[in-house]
Amino acid sequence: MPTNTKTLSSNYSGKDDSELRRGQWILEEDSLLIRYIERHGEGQWNLLAKRSGLRRTGKSCRLRWLNYLKPDVKRGNLSPEEQLLILDLHSKMGNRWSKIARYLPGRTDNEIKNYWRTRVHKQARHLNIDTKSREFQNMIRCYWMPRLKQKIGGKTSISSAVLNQNPTISQPLEINTFQHFTATISPPPQILVQEEINMSGTMYNLDVEKQNTEADCCTSSFIFPSEPMDMSKTAQFPECPPFYCGDNNGYDMVSFNLQESVSADSAPNFPGNSAGDCYVAENNWFDSDFFM
């Protein structure tokens, strides 16, 4: 629900009715917009802007409604499930925020875009990696997404409190948990089934047997148990099959210890630095508020 608590502001004095208002919406404007849409429905935004009495552009009204006032808009942090879905869909669709948003009921393209820019881009920046680079894609797929899956699994099978208190404990992932999750995701109704399969085969059409077969790609040869991750090696690997990485049996994800200290200043050549191992802080990726 909207949480705009602003009241009538000085720039809403009505002194100059001919001027369009810009900037933050106030309570009165929200009420006007909601009331108008309740009576006349969505659409015809320019007409709405004129007739509703709002001194806003049609575009602005549309945006305010879709991103904030619409009753089914979800507020609050993205769940790990939602984050995981975003990462996967982004790997397949790129910056098609509105398309991605269709797979997350109640979430807007704007919200997803902001999530990507603030969280994902931030990490890439800290690591000195281009988000479009293969290294970063691999990192997302073979480290970040498994961690999210792990977190999702932890809700039902592992006490997250215990894990937080014991960051050195190996954390086996219960793959079934994730399978259950993927099975519950509903693709947007307007997208044809064939497209779902082509676009996101393993996501919505999870094939366990295939998963296990393809698992070889990302086994311990990719993430070394009890060893720091050498990012220079990740680039040599073929792309991990989408969503295979749910099975981390044999991994010690925690030992995949990436130390923050190198992330910005001291590791300028991080992704392709073949001269030495590169580390990123574990905390940076999982234990911090990164996943919320």
Partner DNA sequence: AATAGCCCCAACCGCCTACAA
Partner DNA sequence: GTTGTAGGCGGTTGGGGCTAT
Return residues touching DNA (CB under 7 A): 4, 21-25, 43-47, 56-60, 62-64, 67-68, 77, 95-99, 109-111, 113-115, 117-119, 122, 289
Assess contact for 48 and 37: CB atoms under 8 A.
Answer: yes
Which residue bears the tokens 């995981």? Answer: 84
State the nearest-atom distance from the C-beta of 113 to DNA, in Å.
6
Assess contact for 88 and 112: CB atoms under 8 A.
Answer: no
> DSSP of 87-123, one letter per residue?
HHHHHHH-S-HHHHHTTSTT--HHHHHHHIIIIIHHH
State the nearest-atom distance from the C-beta of 174 to DNA, in Å.
29
Distance CA 192, CA 204 (A): 13
State the nearest-atom distance from the C-beta of 181 to DNA, in Å.
23
Assess contact for 260 and 283: CB atoms under 8 A.
Answer: yes
Give the nearer residue to DNA in terms of CB position, either 22 or 35: 22
Of 254, 264, 262, residue with least CA distance to 286: 254
Q: Give Cα 30 to chain centroid, integer Å.
A: 28
Give the nearer residue to DNA in terms of CB position, either 24 or 157: 24
Give strand ranges (E) for 15-116.
none
Give the nearer residue to DNA in terms of CB position, either 35 or 122: 122
Give the nearer residue to DNA in terms of CB position, either 172 or 187: 187
State the nearest-atom distance from the C-beta of 134 to DNA, in Å.
18
State the nearest-atom distance from the C-beta of 48 to DNA, in Å.
7
Give the nearer residue to DNA in terms of CB position, either 2 or 228: 2
List all residues 6 or more positions away from 262 whose beta carbon is below 8 Å from its beta carbon.
270, 278, 279, 280
List all residues 6 or more positions away from 260 whose beta carbon is below 8 Å from its beta carbon.
280, 281, 283, 284
Distance CA 252, CA 233 (A): 18
Give the nearer residue to DNA in terms of CB position, either 24 or 156: 24
State the nearest-atom distance from the C-beta of 223 to DNA, in Å.
26
